[in-house]
Amino acid sequence: MTDTTAQISSTLVLPYLNHAVRMYEDSYASRADIDAAMRFGCGYPAGPLTALDELGLDVVRDQLAARHAESGDELHKPADLLEKLVAAGRTGKAAGRGFYTYADGEVVPDEETPSADDAPRPQHEIATVGVVGTGTMASGIVEVFAKAGYDVVYVGRSEEKVAGVQAGTTKSLDKAISRGKLDEESKSAVLGRLRGTTAREDLADVDLVVEAIAEDLAIKTELFRALDAICKPGAILATTTSSLPITACGDATERPEAVIGMHFFNPAPVMKLVEVVTTATTAPAVDETVRALCGRVGKVAVSCTDRPGFIVNALLFPYLNDAVKLAEEGEHDLSTIDEAVKAEAGFPMGPFQLLDVVGNDVSLAIQRELHEEFKHPGFAPAATLEKVVAEGNLGRKTGRGFHDYS
């Protein structure tokens, strides 16, 4: 690795690690869930707290302190917990203890380490699942549940949209057959579990509904109000929102205790992570049921509460935004930054490649939410991110974003 490569990577990755420490320090999510979220949600080789232990908490603390002295940015100031752990000699894997405890290089279970006894146990029986929506995410969720053996009722706005889900699922299953991962009998069984409809009333008897429609709060709350009237008592109502308040969805119903977030990642059949998001009124039994359900459909569930960004987006998008600001300084071109992060940090994609995959409009909307929630000046969306969105260069979906795909 060149000095330039290492410098670019540390410039972007160290604040991300610091944000993760603050998230854990705030008790927003557990140590294990923060690490699992970034591993399974972003494909990172290690979660941020594990990465800190490997790098050395004292080394990262010193580098952040130097950055803070230079920039004055409070986001670069080492988190209080980082300082406390270093002062206590808990400097990471080499010292035998950091965020985790180690013996012979392996993590030693402690009071925070989940055990088999801690596994969630379903409190509600889930046999039939409803899905509202027919887009890419909704279609993927339909496939996930049907492949796991659940009967699925999915609702679209038109017969054409409904047929599109059936066709898309069939295509996906055919692809799995061509790769030797599925046979024709299994394909027929999966398709036999699907029932498409344009009538929300057909969700009356499902045990859980997953909403996967447009990221518009007014539209979502109207839907939750309708689902509350349609669905049977005891049915769980879940939303896949990545940025809107789940509490508002619950408040639109007479059963806020049964409303929860199930934030799948795209493409849902492939990505392992689901962020299970509880509100102040979500019943513990509902949380337990949904987390257990995630395990039954082959997903890794991580838990957090209802605030913008949840775990993954709250850690990911400030890092992406920082990459845009670094490019604005003019010392490094976009491809150099992309390649430096991949080479040094082992991330599967560079920041500009990822922005273009996610969609720059989506990225900007999430960054604005984070800025509004946390009020950090450093979270203000980068000017160039605002500019590419204003110009309609939204990424791969438009053929041009930070990179050109035409």
Domain CATH number, residue 112? 1.10.1040.10
Could you list the residue range(s) of the whole structural domain that residue 334 is in? 312-398
* pLDDT tens digit sequence for 131-187: 999 999 999 999 999 999 999 999 999 999 999 999 999 999 999 999 999 999 999
Q: Is the pLDDT of residue 104 over 70?
A: yes
Which pLDDT score, from 0 to 100, does residue 113 have?
81
- Do 350 and 241 reside in the same domain of the chain? no
Domains in the chain: how many in total?
3
- Do 389 and 253 reside in the same domain of the chain? no
Which pLDDT score, from 0 to 100, does residue 364 have?
96
Per-residue confidence band for 310, with pLDDT thresholds at 50, 70 and 90: very high
- Do 298 and 326 reside in the same domain of the chain? no
Which pLDDT score, from 0 to 100, does residue 379 have?
95
What span, in angstroms and rounded, lies between the C-alpha atoms of 300 and 276? 10
Of 242, 275, 305, which residue constitutes the final position of a domain? 305
User: Running DSSP on this structure, what letter comes out for residue 93?
Assistant: G
User: Which residues sit opposite 155 in a β-bridge?
Assistant: 132, 197
- Do 165 and 299 reside in the same domain of the chain? yes
Per-residue confidence band for 2, with pLDDT thresholds at 50, 70 and 90: low
- Report cis status (omega within 30 of 0) of the bond before 267: yes
- Do 329 and 244 reside in the same domain of the chain? no
CB-neighbour burial class of residue 166 (10 A; exposed 0-12, middle 13-18, buried 19+): middle
Which pLDDT score, from 0 to 100, does residue 119 have?
77
Residue 106, classed as helix, strand or coil, is strand
Of 301, 303, 300, 299, the C-alpha closest to 148 is 299
- Do 180 and 203 reside in the same domain of the chain? yes
User: Which residues sit opposite 209 in a β-bridge?
Assistant: 130, 237
Give Cα 123 to chain centroid, integer Å.
25
Where in the sequence numbering do the catalytic residues fall?
242, 263, 275, 313
* pLDDT tens digit sequence for 69-100: 999 999 999 999 999 999 999 999 999 999 99
Per-residue confidence band for 388, with pLDDT thresholds at 50, 70 and 90: very high
Query: Nearest 5°: phi and psi at 106?
Result: -105, 150
What span, in angstroms and rounded, lies between the C-alpha atoms of 51 and 10? 12
User: Running DSSP on this structure, what letter comes out for residue 274?
Assistant: E
Residue 403 lies in a domain: no
Q: Is the pLDDT of residue 1 over 50?
A: no
Tell me what percent of the chain is helix, strand and coil, each rounded to the nearest 5. Answer: 55, 10, 35
Report the percentage of the chain scoring pLDDT > 90: 93
What mean pLDDT is predicted for residues 349-364?
Answer: 96
* pLDDT tens digit sequence for 250-305: 999 999 999 999 999 999 999 999 999 999 999 999 999 999 999 999 999 999 99
What mean pLDDT is predicted for residues 39-49?
Answer: 97
Of 290, 305, 320, which residue constitutes the final position of a domain? 305
Query: Nearest 5°: phi and psi at 298?
Result: 80, 20
Neighbours of 250 (CB within 10 A): 26
- Do 279 and 139 reside in the same domain of the chain? yes
Which pLDDT score, from 0 to 100, does residue 92 have?
97
Q: Residues 246-250: contacts with CB within 8 Å, 24+ apart? A: 246/277, 246/279, 246/306, 247/279, 247/280, 247/281, 247/306, 248/217, 248/220, 248/221, 249/211, 249/220, 249/221, 249/224, 250/224, 250/279, 250/281, 250/282
